[in-house]
Structure formats: structure tokens, C-alpha cells
A and B are shown apart, each in its own frame.
Chain A
Amino acid sequence: MKRRDFIRGATAVALPLSLSGYSARAMGLSPMLESLAELTAQADRYLVLIQLAGGNDGINTVIPLDQMSTYNSLRSNIALPENKVLKLTNATGLHSSMVGMKSLYDAGNLAVVQGVTYPTSNFSHFRSTDIWMSGSDFNEYLSTGWAGRYLDSQFPGYPAGYPNATMPDPLAIQISSSSSLALKGANAPMGVNLQDPEAFYRLVSGTSVNGFTTAPDTAAGKQIAYIRQVQAQSEVYAKVIQKANASAKNLASYTPAGVNPLADQLAIVARLIAGGLKTRVYMVTLGGFDTHAQQVVATDRTLGSHATLLARLSEGMTSFQQDLKLMKIDDKVIGMTFSEFGRRVGSNASSGTDHGSAAPVFVFGKAVKGGVVGANPSLTNLDNGNLKMQYDFRQIYASLLKQWFGTNNSEYAAVLGKDFTTLPLIQGSTSVAEEEQTFATNGIRIQNYPNPVSTSTTFQYTLPYTSRVRLSVVDAQGHIVTTMDEQQAAGAYSINFDTGALASGAYTYRLETERGWASGKMVVAR
């Protein structure tokens, strides 16, 4: 079975609602279950995805205060002065321009997840963006997005039969002219179809967009104006969006419109949520992070293009959070940032940074479990000059799907193609160790010997079928320590694993195939 079919097939059987492990659908439509189903469908939980397009320089965003001498030598032309860094912990700080986000952190409303990427980095913007959007492996090509698949599982059959009484609103809204892969479902984009983005934008922002508002004063211009008008009217969701937008006012002060594009977009999102849209997922974008040159001002490295971008991110996020609070909807909304990759550890000669790999992800909101998740990435233990992966980005997706949207392991595994260890990102989520849950193991067993381990061990398993196989070792904090990922024929396997580089402690190892997974625990003791 191909990976893509695997994901599709799994999505098709994923049950939209679970009640104590039973599917509401499978149990039939008793009135009690119907009303419960409705309640769940209207669950007031919204997710805002903030794309930092271009590849954000994570090392100058979240600064490893415990490695300042290495940091200063590898980034001599762009390094921030240590005394300007906004300290989160003794070891970790934020860029000096992220004052607002520092206060969010202090209030416990910001989680910083360190070292996020995927195994085998791709340095193409196009490809790496697609990987993040689709939630694929580095060598897997998916035509649907991770959020799109989630929405597909919640609103089966979309767009047929939508909008309807239960879901009168768009499933997702992207404030952008082009719709992204992340929101693409199996049948259609799950995001609102912007037939005429400029009209849509005008509709909800009340402002003009570059050059689009005025059609030329010619016969052609009159036709264009007419066509735009019909386009706006034929947008099936235009009325509900307009109504929601009109019924709410921003209560916090944002940067004046036109200065900070992210703040402008987030102000719209806040109004739409406060205005009562049941839209689950919003996506906004801040571009310009491709800082190959002059990312700092030479005379004051706390300034420059990267500082401006981070200030916009920080101010936008902070105003948005304040707005939600004043609107009394801050317990319903969380957000996360992501970028297609981080940047090279060493800066280049142009006072910039080139394409890299791992970078921090921010998760914010009142419901978020604040703190720093994971250790500072090592600036010396590198892969070809790039940071090593600490967390797979899909662990964050899995965590939010599970802890925020309430999907169980098999449901989010279906969305993401496989199971991932979750991280404690939302309050009430208990520990880094995932809850072991039945996920059809199809007869796969894995064991290791010796156990406890000193310097090496051997994993043994038998594969009843040909499959892509991934074998990962995960530490007690949920970091993936190492991963093997390859196509294997049916048969018995013995894989030797060198534990010399691992710290003493308990580890989990997991074997994932296209049909299931199995796991075991081992202890490294020296």
C-alpha cells in the first residue's frame, strides 16, 4: 500500500466523534448522541496558524544564553549583545525586539518549542514549505494539507452539503490571496475559496489592497468592476463573514493599519472569531524571513530587517492576545507559528544567514501551557553546519490535534499518517510520555537486548509485509534521539544501535510501519 493511500484510507475510516472510545456514528443516531454530536461540532476551539515565510532565523529569535561564546564566534557579524537578550530562563532568551512575547511568556501564555524540523532537511523553500504544510516525511509527496485532513475528518464530504445548519461558516479562513497547501482537503480546499481576494479583503478589512480597488475608467474598467461585484456576491460565505466582521469590534489597540501586515491580519481574525464564526482554523502569513543579507544594522545589531520582523510578530501576537482577552474569548483561541526552516548556525559574510534546518516554534494562548519545551539546540553538535532535530514538527501538530481539538491517538495518527509522541503544550495535558493506546499493531513486536544497555544494543523485529519502516528512539522528554527510515521487505531484522552518545536514562523506542507500530522501553546505564 502506498503511503498516500495509507493516509487516505485511514482518513476515510477515521470517526468524526468519539465518546469514551465509541464512535457516535457507529452507535447510531440516538437523540442523546445527536445532541452531543452537535455540541462537539460546535466546540468553541479555534487555531490560528502564523506562517513566518522565508525561513526564520531561530537562533537569533530564541538565543541560547548557555552557549554565548560559540554563538558570538559563529555569528560575529550578527550576534545580539547578551545584555539585550530578553531572558526567559537562565539558559534561554528572546530577541530584544520581542518585548510583548516576553510578557506573554511571563504570564504563562507562551510555549517555546526548541529545535523543530523533520528528519533529513530540505533547503528548498518550495519543498520545505510543502513538507510543513502537508505534514509529510521529507521524501513523501502529499497533495493534501495536515489541517485540511483534520477538517476533512471532522466535516466528512466537504464541500458537498456545506454550508449547512450545523456548520454555516467556512471551515478555515486564510487571510491571503492564494490558498495554501496546509488547508487543502481531499476534495477541495477547506479554506474559504477566495474567488476574488481583493473584494473579500475589502469586505472584511474595509481598506483597499494595492492597485486592486480601482478599475480603470474605461469600458474595460466598467466590465471589470461589474465582474468583481458578482464575484464577491457569488462567494458563498461572503455574507456570514461580513456579518461576523460587522458584529465585532477590535478592543485592543493594534499597530496602525498598513504598518504591520501581521497585526492587520490578526485584527481581522479576532473580529471574525468574536463575531461568532465557527471557523476552526485561521491562517495568516508574515513574509520576509529569507534574511540572506544585512539582517542586522552593523552599528546596532538589535536593529535591522530581522528585528523588524520579530517586532511585528511580537506586537501582532500581543495585541491579538490582548484583544481576545478584552473580547473574553481568549480561552477559546490558541495560535502557533511555523516557518519552512531555520537558518544556518554560522552567519555569512553579508551579515545574513543561509537556509538551515531546525528552529523554534511558538505556541501561544491562554490555554497554552507556558514554558520552554526542550533544551537549547547545541551550536556545536551539528549536521553539516545545521542544528539537529530535537522535535519533529508533526509532534506539535499531533499535540494540538489531541490536546486542543480533542482527537484521540488513532484519529490524529490518521490525519498525520502515523502516530507521533505528543508534547505538553496545552494546560491539562499531563506528561511528555504519550499515553500508550491501541493502534492496530498487526502482529508486530519489537524487543532489544541487552537491556539495560551500556554502549550498544540490538533491536529485533519481524516484518510480516513489505513496508516503509521507521525506527525511532525517544528520550524521556519526548525528544527523538535518532530515526531510521527506509523501505524494507518482509522478513526478520536485527538492527545494532550504538548508545555511546546517549545520556543515562530511560528511553522509548518505536517501530512504525504502514500498518501499525510497536514500541518498547530500554534503560541506558553506565
Chain B
Amino acid sequence: MALLDKYPATLTAKAAEHLLRRTMFGAARADITALTDKSIDAALDTLLKDQIAPAPPIDPTTGQTWMNDTARTANDGAYNNYMKAWWLGLMATSPISISEKMALFWHNHFASSWSVVNDTRYMYKQNVLLRKNALGNFKTLTREISIDPAMLRYLNGNQNRVGSPQENFARELQELFTIGKGPEISAGNYTNYTEDDVRAAAKVLTGWTDTQTTVTSGFTLNRHDTSDKQFSSAYQNKIIKGRNTASAGMDELNDLLDMIFSQTATSEYICRKLYRFFVNFDVTPTIEQQVIVPLGKTLRDNNFEIKPVLRQLLGSTHFFDNNIIGAVIKTPLDLIIGMVRQMQITLPNTTNQLAFYYSYFDQLRNLAASLQQDIFELPNVAGWSVYYQEPLFYQIWINSATMPPRANLGNTLINGWTLTNRATGATMRVTFDSLVFLQQFPNPEDPNKVIDNFTQNFFAIDLTSEQKDELLSTVLLPNLPAYEWTVEWNDFMKTPNDAQKRALIKSKLDALVKYMMLIAEYQIT
């Protein structure tokens, strides 16, 4: 049986949960229910469906978006936080869809950062581009990102002109975005491309600049190197014909991408990256041969459309292998946004509580950033190192500085935050109510069911019966027989409006939730 054979069965709740955990942020109970008993095809139809573009971020103090401003304003630091909150909000409220996770994949792949680009209008425009092509065509996206205003700034493409080439983008385009660096077989020869190819590609890419009033890019012929560009034997000694027309920049860019994308290494490189993002870091020779190589072929056979690759990968028996479930350490966003989704935290609405809504996600942004994942602020052009840095990979998320706040996250979310609307001074409290959460499950009076329902919903892999016993007998019911829960619960239900009894029951559930998040198993997905 080949690893990429289609997953044959309808999805169990556990399989649906795995699929959702990996393609979204956490698995909300309603989403699991929606995919359970579906065929893998039907589930992927739902997940891979194109989503309509969201409305732009709004400045909650004015109720208007600033994205059409003709200049960066001094307020851009605050705008940056609104924009981040906007995206985190989309992640947390998305319908069943892979789109936000794919947008994040591309954001990590075509990395950039606000502190370098220095203008939210640019960052937003790039995000719109990533979002538009998230489930589209890799080659199209690469073409558009090559002349994206934010990318022109981030990798200095806008300074690349004839006579004074700027090689930054030309290098990263090959090293990180498309074909990837192979072994350095001789000085300046990285198997898939050479230093000469970097210089040649830089010449191809001369002439592009950005215009900050409109946040657009344009081609200026007199900045362009019109000579022929000679590539190395890595590219079959291809010559890209120099042009001298208004469309020279785009024509030569197309030639360059045709050349790069015709190399098998390019399709396999992006498939490897998808594998490490969605499945597992460990690309063994078997995975290389049985997963990456065939996926690369699928990508080429489908003219670089991404959906068929995702369909094949996420619908494979390998993806649902027991050894894959739980193999990924949650990213801070998996952890934080996932908690918001799976705990069904009631969020402020975006119609008349937008300031609170952004304020809540601003808290989450802070938290994620402290755990080393800050969107719109990639650490460098290679993206988050967990996806490439051997030998630790995902384990890089975990260290003695990040582990305590990670383990304390249940506490943080249960306590919640008092949010302030800076304009009006009004406040609003957003917390997690473990009692409401429990009551959506049947048989809340049965302590074993309480443990089962909570653990099933919170953990990617099943806890051992010893661990569940521990949760029951030392956390939910410290050293008491199980029936005492039923006694206390029934007593509470006689007077469910008794605030003190409610608080007592809730404090037990809170302790359970907090403790579950201390367990190492909570960190994997």
C-alpha cells in the first residue's frame, strides 16, 4: 500500500478532528460533528472550497479602513496591531476551511515583516494577494509576489537596477521560495542553481519599483538591464533573451519562472514545505520517495495548481497514520486560536463591539508574540525556523522561557481579560465559562463522561486510562469516590441559579481545564 493511497474510510470523529486540527486552528466541536461520517472527498470539498475575500481591517476609533489612504500615517504602529487582530479574528471565526491556514503557510513561505516594510497598507495588500492565491496556482502566486510592493521593499527589489544590481530577491527567490538550495557541490554551486544564476536572475528582475501613494508596483524600462541573461548548466544553460519594451520586465519574469518551474526540484521543494507545515517535519528517504516525489508530479501535472496536491496529501492514508497524529508541536497560534475555537469563547461582535473585538485579539497577539509567533513579523526571510531548522524543527517552539506561559494558557484564557474601549472608556470582560462548556455535552452529572468529553475535545491523542483516572481522582474529585461528583452536581441542579454553588462546581471544572493544559500531551497536535 502506498503512503499516498486515498484514505478509504468515512471519517470517524477522531479522524475528522485530526484533519481539522491540522488544516485549521484547533478543532471546535461543531466542526468535528460536521465532518464526522463524511467521506474524505466530501470533507476536503468543504475544506478546500474557495472563500470570499474578507472586508479590510477597520480603525475602531473611526469605523473606517485606512487601507485606501494615500500615505502612511504616524498612526501606523496602532494600525499594525489592528491589522494583526483582524487576521487573528479571521482565524478564530473562520468557517470550516483550510484558507486561513494556507494564507499563513504562504505568509511563512513568502516571509516579510512590518518592521522592515514599515507600512501596514503594504502588508495588507500582500496579505490580500496571499489570500487570493492561497488555494490557487503556485506559479501565479510566485509571479505576483515577485512584483508585490511589500516584497519589493522587504527584499530590496525596488533598488535593483541596471548597472547596480541588488541580488537579494533573486537569491531568495531561488534559495527559499522556489527551487531551494541543494548540496554545495563546488564553490558557488548549490546543485539546483549557482551564484552566477543569482546574478543572472537579478538582472532579469531589474526595473521594478513601488509607488507608495497607491501601494502599487511598476516597471521602468530605463532601470532595466536589457542584455541577454545566461544561466548555468543547473538550468540547462538557458539564455533569457533581454528585451527593450514596456513589457520587458514581465516578459522576462515569465521566462525566468518558466525556467525555474520546469525543474523538478521546484515542485518537490514546495511539496516538502507543505509536508512539514501540515504533516510532519521528518522527511525520511521513504517519505521523500513515496510522498514528496509523487506530490511534485501531481503539482506539475496540474500546472502548479495547489488544490490537487493538498487533496492528495490530506486525503492520504499516510496523513491519517497513527504515527502522524500528534507528531506536530502546536504553533503558538494553534495553541491560542485553537483554544478560542475549541473552548467556544464568546467573542465581542464586529458590528458594535469592534473595539473590544480587536482588543481581545490584541491580547492574543501579544501572547502569541511572547511565544515567538508574531504574524506580519516573520523573524527573517526563511520564516519560522521550526519548519526548516534541523534537528529540532517543531521543538524549537518549546524552551524554558516559552514552556511556563504555554502551560499556563488555560489559566490565562479562563481568567480572560477586561477589555477597554479606549475611545469611550467602556469595559467588557471576555472569559471562558467551563460550566457552559460542559453543559453542551450529555450526562454532565457523570464524572467519567466529564473527563471523557473534555479530554476527547482537548487532546490530539488519547490519554491513557491511568491519566484519565488521575484527572478524575486527583484533579476533578481530589481523593473522592466518583459518585460524589454526581451528588454535588445534582445538588447544584436543584438550584442552578445559586451563584455560590455554581461557582463551586465551576471552580472544579476550571481546575480540570487548567490541569489538562499543563499536560505535555496538550502541546501536540
Contact = CB atoms under 8 A, between A and B. Distances in A.
Interface of A: 51, 53-54, 124-127, 129-130, 141, 176-178, 180, 194-197, 210-212, 215-216, 218-220, 223-224, 226-228, 230-231, 233-234, 285-290, 292
Interface stretch (B4-12, B233-241, B298-306, B478-486): B478-486
Contacts of A51: 479
A130 B466 contact: no
A234 B399 CA distance: 8
B521 interface: yes
Given A195-B404, A218-B322, A218-B326, A211 B484 contact: no
Contacts of A53: 478-480
Interface stretch (B243-251, B419-427, B467-475): B467-475
A31 B77 CA distance: 50
Given A195-B403, A196-B520, A223 B394 contact: yes
Contacts of A197: 518
Interface in B374-429: 394-395, 398-401, 403-404, 407
B399 to A, nearest CB: 6
Given A124-B504, A287-B478, A290-B481, 18 more contacts: A125-B484, A126-B488, A127-B504, A180-B478, A195-B403, A195-B518, A211-B464, A218-B323, A219-B327, A223-B327, A223-B395, A223-B523, A224-B326, A224-B521, A230-B399, A231-B403, A234-B399, A287-B480
A219 B329 CA distance: 10
Interface centre among A178, A195, A210, A212 (most CB of B within 10 A): A178
A127 B505 CA distance: 9
B474 A220 contact: no
- Say whether chain B's binding surface is mostly helix, strand, loop, or mixed: helix
B460 interface: yes
Contacts of A180: 478
Interface centre among A125, A129, A285 (most CB of B within 10 A): A125
B508 interface: yes
B150 interface: no
27 contacts: A53-B480, A124-B488, A126-B488, A126-B504, A130-B504, A130-B507, A178-B475, A196-B520, A197-B518, A210-B466, A211-B465, A212-B467, A220-B460, A223-B328, A223-B329, A223-B524, A224-B326, A224-B523, A226-B395, A227-B403, A227-B520, A227-B523, A231-B407, A234-B404, A285-B478, A285-B479, A286-B479
B329 A227 contact: yes
A126 B511 contact: no
B23 interface: no
A194 B519 CA distance: 11
Contacts of A286: 479
Contacts of B518: 194-197
Contacts of B401: 234
Contacts of B280: 219
A183 to B, nearest CB: 13
Contacts of A288: 479
Nearest to A289: B479
B451 to A, nearest CB: 14
A286 B404 CA distance: 29
B470 A210 contact: yes
Nearest to B504: A126
A25 to B, nearest CB: 31
Q: Which 7 A-B pairs have the closest CB atoms?
A: A287-B479, A211-B466, A220-B326, A53-B479, A219-B327, A234-B400, A210-B466
Nearest to A193: B404
Interface string B259-273: 000000000000000
Contacts of B324: 219
A124 B500 CA distance: 12
Nearest to B523: A227
Contacts of B500: 141
Contacts of A224: 326, 520-521, 523-524
Contacts of B13: none
B325 interface: yes
Interface residues of B, number: 50
B231 to A, nearest CB: 40
Given A53-B479, A218-B327, A290-B481, A125 B488 contact: yes
A288 B524 CA distance: 34
A177 B515 contact: yes
A129 B500 CA distance: 14
B41 interface: no
A287 B324 CA distance: 39
B478 A178 contact: yes
B461 interface: yes
B282 interface: yes
Nearest to B401: A234
Given A54-B480, A125-B480, A223-B326, A177 B475 contact: yes
Contacts of A292: 481
B228 interface: no
Contacts of B407: 195-196, 231
Contacts of A231: 403, 407, 520
A286 to B, nearest CB: 8
B45 interface: no
Contacts of A129: 478
Nearest to A293: B481
A216 B521 CA distance: 11
B515 to A, nearest CB: 6
B403 A230 contact: yes
Interface string B490-525: 010000000010011101100100010010110110
A275 to B, nearest CB: 24
A218 B460 CA distance: 13
Interface string B322-349: 1111111100000000000000000000
A227 B524 contact: yes
B296 to A, nearest CB: 23
Contacts of B400: 230, 233-234
B486 to A, nearest CB: 12
Given A177-B515, A218-B327, A288-B479, A230 B466 contact: no
A229 to B, nearest CB: 9
A124 B486 CA distance: 12
Interface string B144-172: 00000000000000000000000000000
Contacts of A219: 280, 282, 323-324, 326-327
Contact of A176 (B325, B329, B474, B503): B474
A51 B474 CA distance: 13
A126 B464 CA distance: 26
Nearest to B397: A227
Nearest to B519: A196
Nearest to B393: A223
A216 B327 CA distance: 11
Contacts of B523: 223-224, 227
A177 B474 contact: yes
A177 B479 CA distance: 11
A177 B472 CA distance: 12
Contacts of B399: 230, 234
Contacts of A290: 480-481, 484
A224 B394 CA distance: 12
Contacts of A285: 478-479
A61 B463 CA distance: 39
A141 B480 contact: no
A196 B400 CA distance: 13
Contact of B508 (A126, A230, A233): A126
Nearest to B392: A226
Given A53-B479, A195-B403, A287-B480, A220 B524 contact: yes
A215 B521 CA distance: 9
B520 A228 contact: yes
B473 A287 contact: yes
A130 B488 CA distance: 14
A292 B394 CA distance: 50
A455 B10 CA distance: 83
A233 B399 CA distance: 9
Contacts of A126: 488, 504-505, 507-508
